[in-house]
């Protein structure tokens, strides 16, 4: 991967002239700074001032043209974390004429994606905040292809997982600190600034306690396609898939069973499982499977993914390493362990991931409820959960507490104290919980054909009415099947009909298996009814309502 910017591809004088004559052009998507991504021609960066520069000329474009609202609070979020005030993007403005008095610009010929990584030291953040959003932002703009250049502006060094960022493009990503090597003024011929937040599922608790995002827009399908693309780049073939060829179905089943294994993802420095060996033996005995351990300290990342991508179960302490569950095969089980006084329901990035529709993972959490089985570390530095720096009263309150109360990110000492405890896992209660949790595991074979295709609208909805007596009437509603149904095999097709008397604010809902029905209960003569009809596949795939029918008895 070359780090040089090949200046050969562009004619320097043509580029300089274009910049001087046309200035910078910006066109963005998004109504708010939190959902905005901007595309630029000739966005420049001044490494001395550490500022991006927009050059105004007669043919500059700046859409949206927000005036000084551009600073309230920013033009856009440079990371995928919503509205974080350390991650804002803006630029300075200059007239293009000022170029005459400035250092000669160096042009970047590549199509560039400019962004902030949020926390490149932490594997969960690497995947959730950076890799997935970068991957799908690149899918959104077709010129951000394999040749695109990533530029990371958060100012950190490469970090321990830089190889993962390298996978996303054939060109070496650039760090902020490297930009000054290219000169005092750099101009990006074509660039995109900002990241799609479409794939993120978790908010870290900056304004309200952490939890799943309010409006999750990603499904297991997109996560798994991302995982597959990454595995291809790492030259990993899933064991399961590689074994598909040859052998009868029976052989296959036998073999699969024999090769089933459990992965224990261990942490070697903090938040330890103190009786890991005992836990491993218990798992092997209980499930009659091989148990393998992996840890970020011992194996390369690709070799860990290789192992996880074929596993039936992944067992681990709460922690960033659990993000690797996105590489588990469908139908696998994720078992997350929580230290004493930490409520699993309040820390759910991995539960939320496993539960995304179509992710097809079975999630089980276990928490240490026995205080005698926890090892605390009050004397460590505060960021590893030490509490020695606190007032005596506060220390005693924390030590007496049996559960960390809800809190905001990121420096709550009670939270850090509890989450960095080591745990002796009580094996009998752990196995009991696991057995219990496995009972509700859906069989993948049964749930597999569940399609995600939604019904279209029902067609030609009609109503006919008749008056029987002065207080009896009938209302017949009929319709045709949705157009896409004739091309589908659907286990169960039902129709929902809503009937509302005009002027009333409630309606009566009915679920019907057939394409017509005559209503007589609660139907009054000489009354207007509003009728809505929609189709439902397999109980929960709702179609749209057809245009409302006005039916007068």
User: Which parts of this chain interact with ligand UDP (CB under 6 A)?
Assistant: 122-124, 267-270, 296-297, 319-321
Name which of 119 and 137 has its Cβ closer to ligand UDP.
119
- Cβ 300 to ligand UDP shortest distance, Å: 13
- Cβ 112 to ligand UDP shortest distance, Å: 28
- Cβ 298 to ligand UDP shortest distance, Å: 10
Name which of 60 and 119 has its Cβ closer to ligand UDP.
119
What are residue 190's DSSP bridge partners?
A: 41, 111
Using CB atoms within 10 A of its CB, is residue 492 exposed (0-12), middle (13-18) or buried (19+)?
Answer: exposed
Q: What is the β-pairing status of strands 290-294 and 313-317? A: unpaired
- Is residue 228 within 8 Å of residue 222, measured between CB atoms? no
3-class DSSP assignment, residue 246? coil
Name which of 191 and 321 has its Cβ closer to ligand UDP.
321
- Cβ 350 to ligand UDP shortest distance, Å: 10
Name which of 15 and 126 has its Cβ closer to ligand UDP.
126
Note the helical H segments in 243-317: 249-259, 276-287, 301-308
**Distance, C-alpha 92 to centroid of its chain:** 33
- Is residue 81 within 8 Å of residue 118, measured between CB atoms? yes
Q: Residue 178: which region, alpha, beta or left (left: phi > 0; alpha: psi -120 to 50)?
A: alpha
- Cβ 124 to ligand UDP shortest distance, Å: 5
How far is residue 452's CA from residue 362's CA, in Å, rounded to a whole number?
Answer: 19
The structure tokens 């109503």 sit at 463
Name which of 273 and 291 has its Cβ closer to ligand UDP.
273
How far is residue 91's CA from residue 63's CA, in Å, rounded to a whole number?
Answer: 14
- Cβ 128 to ligand UDP shortest distance, Å: 11
- Cβ 423 to ligand UDP shortest distance, Å: 13
Name which of 76 and 322 has its Cβ closer to ligand UDP.
322
Q: Can you read off the two tokens belonging to residue 159?
A: 């970090």
Name which of 124 and 334 has its Cβ closer to ligand UDP.
124
Name which of 297 and 547 has its Cβ closer to ligand UDP.
297
**Integer angstrom CA distances of residue 324 from 295, 305, 381:** 11, 7, 28
How far is residue 553's CA from residue 551's CA, in Å, rounded to a whole number?
Answer: 7
- Cβ 340 to ligand UDP shortest distance, Å: 16
Helix, strand, coil distribution of the chain in percent, nearest 5: 30, 25, 45
What are residue 534's DSSP bridge partners?
A: 496
Nearest CA among 395, 402, 400 for reference residue 379 = 395
Q: Can you read off the two tokens belonging to residue 511?
A: 């679920």
- Cβ 333 to ligand UDP shortest distance, Å: 20
- Cβ 117 to ligand UDP shortest distance, Å: 13
Name which of 413 and 455 has its Cβ closer to ligand UDP.
413
What are residue 115's DSSP bridge partners?
A: 152
Q: Residue 67: which region, alpha, beta or left (left: phi > 0; alpha: psi -120 to 50)?
A: left
Name which of 191 and 324 has its Cβ closer to ligand UDP.
324
- Is residue 21 within 8 Å of residue 96, measured between CB atoms? yes
- Cβ 375 to ligand UDP shortest distance, Å: 14
Cα dihedral: 327, 333, 335, 336 (round 10): 40
DSSP 8-state class, residue 273: B
- Cβ 123 to ligand UDP shortest distance, Å: 4
Q: Can you read off the two tokens belonging to residue 457?
A: 């609208």
Name which of 75 and 320 has its Cβ closer to ligand UDP.
320
Name which of 24 and 266 has its Cβ closer to ligand UDP.
266
């Amino acid at each position: 991967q070359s780090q040089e910017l090949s200046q050969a591809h562009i004619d320097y004088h043509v580029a300089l002239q274009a910049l001087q004559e046309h200035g910078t052009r910006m066109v963005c998507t998004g109504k708010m700074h939190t959902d905005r991504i901007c595309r630029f021609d000739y966005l420049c960066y001044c490494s001395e001032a550490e500022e991006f520069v927009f050059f105004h000329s007669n043919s500059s474009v700046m859409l949206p043209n927000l005036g000084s609202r551009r600073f309230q609070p920013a033009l856009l979020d440079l990371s995928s974390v919503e509205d974080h005030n350390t991650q804002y993007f803006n630029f300075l403005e200059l007239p293009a004429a000022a170029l005459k008095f400035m250092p000669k610009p160096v042009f970047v010929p590549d199509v560039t994606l400019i962004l902030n990584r949020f926390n490149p030291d932490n594997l969960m953040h690497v995947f959730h905040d950076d890799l997935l959003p970068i991957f799908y932002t690149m899918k959104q703009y077709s010129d951000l292809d394999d040749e695109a250049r990533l530029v990371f502006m958060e100012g950190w060094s490469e970090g321990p997982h830089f190889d993962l960022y390298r996978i996303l493009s054939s060109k070496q990503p650039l760090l902020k600190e490297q930009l000054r090597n290219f000169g005092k003024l750099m101009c990006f011929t074509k660039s995109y600034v900002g990241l799609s937040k479409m794939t993120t599922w978790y908010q870290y608790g900056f304004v309200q306690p952490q939890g799943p995002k309010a409006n999750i827009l990603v499904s297991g399908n997109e996560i798994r396609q991302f995982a597959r693309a990454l595995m291809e780049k790492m030259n990993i073939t899933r064991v399961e898939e590689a074994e598909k060829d040859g052998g009868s179905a029976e052989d296959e089943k036998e073999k699969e069973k024999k090769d089933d294994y459990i992965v224990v993802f261990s942490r070697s420095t903090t938040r330890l499982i103190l009786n890991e060996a005992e836990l491993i033996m218990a798992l092997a005995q209980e499930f009659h499977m091989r148990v393998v351990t992996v840890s970020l300290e011992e194996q390369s990342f690709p070799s860990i993914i290789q192992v996880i991508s074929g596993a039936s179960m992944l067992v681990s302490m709460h922690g960033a390493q659990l993000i690797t569950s996105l590489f588990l095969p469908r139908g696998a089980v994720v078992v997350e362990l929580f230290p004493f006084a930490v409520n699993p329901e309040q820390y759910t990035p991995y539960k939320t991931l496993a539960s995304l529709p179509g992710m097809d993972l079975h999630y089980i959490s276990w928490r240490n409820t026995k205080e005698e089985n926890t090892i605390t570390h009050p004397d460590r530095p505060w960021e590893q959960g030490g509490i020695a720096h606190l007032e005596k009263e506060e220390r005693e309150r924390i030590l007496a507490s049996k559960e960390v109360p809800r809190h905001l990110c990121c420096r709550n000492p009670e939270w850090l104290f509890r989450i960095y405890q080591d745990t002796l896992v009580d094996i009998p209660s752990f196995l009991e919980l696991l057995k219990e949790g496995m009972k509700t595991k859906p069989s993948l074979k049964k749930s597999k054909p569940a399609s995600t295709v939604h019904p279209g609208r029902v067609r030609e909805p009609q109503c006919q009415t008749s008056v029987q007596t002065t207080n009896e009437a009938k209302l017949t509603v009929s319709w045709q099947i949705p157009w896409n149904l004739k091309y589908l095999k659907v286990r169960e097709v039902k129709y929902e009909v809503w009937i509302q008397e005009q002027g009333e604010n409630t309606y009566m809902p009915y679920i019907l298996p057939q394409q017509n029905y005559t209503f007589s209960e609660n139907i009054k003569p000489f009354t207007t009814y509003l009728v809505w009809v929609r189709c439902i596949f397999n109980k929960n795939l709702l179609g749209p309502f057809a245009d409302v029918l006005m039916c007068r008895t």
